[in-house]
Amino acid sequence: MGRLFGTDGVRGLANDSLSPELALQVSAAAAQVLSRGKKRAVAVVGRDPRASGEMLEAAVTAGLTSAGVDVLSVGVLPTPAVAYLTGVYDACLGVMISASHNPMPDNGIKIFAAGGHKLDDAIEDRIEALIADGGFTRPTGGAIGRILGRPGLGGHVFDVTDRYSLEGTHERYVEHLVQATGRDLRGLTVVLDCAHGAASEVGPAAFREAGATVIPINAEPDGLNINDGCGSTHLEQIQAAVREHGADLGLALDGDADRCLAVDATGTVVDGDAIMAVIAVGMRESGELAEDTLVATVMSNLGLHIAMRAAGITVRTTAVGDRYVLEDLRSGGYTLGGEQSGHVVFPRYGTTGDGVLTGLKLMARMAETGSGLAELAGIVQTVPQILVNVPVSDKAAVASAPAVLEAVAQAEQLLGETGRILLRPSGTEQLVRVMVEATDLAQAHDLADQLAKLVEAV
């Protein structure tokens, strides 16, 4: 069996590579690994609105309860909300059913440990080993897990303590976001693209509660339209809407709302690097940026490093994936980190990237300074970056092929200190990603094209 877990959980084509049978196995194994030592362990389960989530939620719930774990089903909520509620309910684990920014036919299973923390590699390896071994312990009788409650049922399925009541769960998360914002957003107008995803209700509610005027778009999920030509992977709609409504900015979420990209009042894109820079400078000024340090991945542009150096901020780099950013944040006690793709993490308020919170924090900086987003984001001057995604049949083998490694080394030698190259297998798709940064745009294009053609040939 190949490795199940990618950079962000288990992901695949729903009812194909990600079958209900696999979902049951993964959740049952995770329950046994993460609930060890607890008599009546509890798991929080949420999902995004894609149609296959209904089927997979049933399988995940079956897997958890078959392992003796009680289930709190919180319904459709963003990934960071499930992580937050895993901590709030003192659950042993949380499960989010979502394929994030992937198209509707895909789905995924993201698992959180106690406190809402993402799993490290060692825990994932234990879960995979248990699945491969098939050595599940199946309780019987009263030891089988139960479903403790669902939002809107007006009570519990059976008698449990009041702390497991799910009444007001969505409102609780919105309140948490608004408290974390720390500033009244009255006077600011935002277009919010919800990607027909998990934040279609709680996203607009949070911005309104914080005082902003909100124009929501793509906030009518039907199970089939998630990420369909909208959200953080398709910014054309929000660019047009911001200009049409004369809004101060636009914010685009992805399907599970763990990432956020922005556009300024003119419709110009503000990516995760610029968002982190704006927020980092504000946090440094207020004394909230621990060690004056920002944690980013190797995918962040050289322009971010230059801007942060000028602002007196150190940038630490990690491997690609917000889980690695999170690990570095926790180990070093840092207070801000994220990815160019729009995953931004505030460890004081959450254990994973939170697109809604990121947008609120960005607007709080605008309110604090009285400046427009274009002016604030202008501190980052992006170095030309070319990214080519090459479809392959075996991403790990191709990325490590001697011919590919030799070509990368030669290109790096050619660039010297004027740029850099990153070639890596995707963590979620059968792709090899070729990224070239260079102060000379034509040179960046040429090198990216050469390397992509070589990868394709290999």
State residue 398's pLDDT score: 87
The CATH H-level superfamily of 10-166 is Alpha-D-Glucose-1,6-Bisphosphate, subunit A, domain 3 (3.40.120.10)
Cα three-residue angle 317-323-326, rounded to 5 degrees? 65
pTM across the whole model: 0.87
The single-letter code of the amino acid at 50 is R
- If one looks up domain 385-457 in CATH, what number appears? 3.30.310.50
pLDDT digits (tens, 9 = 90+) for 274-297: 999 999 999 999 999 999 999 999
3-state class of 86 per DSSP? helix
Closest CA to 257 of 304, 306, 198: 198
State residue 416's pLDDT score: 84
Beta carbons within 10 angstroms of residue 209's beta carbon: 19
What are the structure tokens assigned to 422, written together? Answer: 């990153």
Distance in angstroms (rounded) separating the CA atoms of residues 243 and 75: 34
pLDDT digits (tens, 9 = 90+) for 153-167: 333 333 344 444 556
The mean pLDDT of 443-453, rounded to a whole number, is 94
The mean pLDDT of 401-426, rounded to a whole number, is 89
**Whether 51 contacts 97, CB under 8 Å:** no
17 is catalytic: no
The mean pLDDT of 115-134, rounded to a whole number, is 92
State residue 149's pLDDT score: 66
- With cut-offs at 50, 70 and 90, classify the pLDDT of residue 426: confident
Distance in angstroms (rounded) separating the CA atoms of residues 184 and 211: 6
254 is in an annotated binding site: yes
Residue 69 Cα distances to 61, 110, 231, 274, 385, angstroms = 9, 17, 35, 42, 47
What are the structure tokens assigned to 24, written together? Answer: 């049951």
8 is in an annotated binding site: no
pLDDT digits (tens, 9 = 90+) for 181-192: 999 999 999 999
328 is in an annotated binding site: no
Q: Give backbone dihedrals phi and psi of 392, rounded to 5 degrees, phi first.
A: -140, 165
Lowest mean pLDDT among 251-255, 314-318, 392-396: 392-396
Distance in angstroms (rounded) separating the CA atoms of residues 149 and 42: 12
The mean pLDDT of 23-30, rounded to a whole number, is 97
* Fold match between domain 172-377 and domain 385-457: no
What are the structure tokens assigned to 121, written together? Answer: 């590699």
Query: How remote is the C-alpha of 48 from its chain's centroid?
Result: 13
Distance in angstroms (rounded) separating the CA atoms of residues 335 and 180: 13
Rounded to the nearest 10 degrees, how much is the dihedral formed by the CA atoms of 28, 31, 34, 38? -140
100 is in an annotated binding site: yes
State residue 162's pLDDT score: 43
The CATH H-level superfamily of 172-377 is Alpha-D-Glucose-1,6-Bisphosphate, subunit A, domain 3 (3.40.120.10)
Where do the domains of the chain lie?
A: 10-166, 172-377, 385-457
State residue 262's pLDDT score: 98
State residue 73's pLDDT score: 94
Instruction: Check 27, 35, 66, 100 and give the catalytic one.
Output: 100
Radius of gyration of the chain (CA): 22
State residue 160's pLDDT score: 40
The single-letter code of the amino acid at 297 is T
The single-letter code of the amino acid at 450 is Q
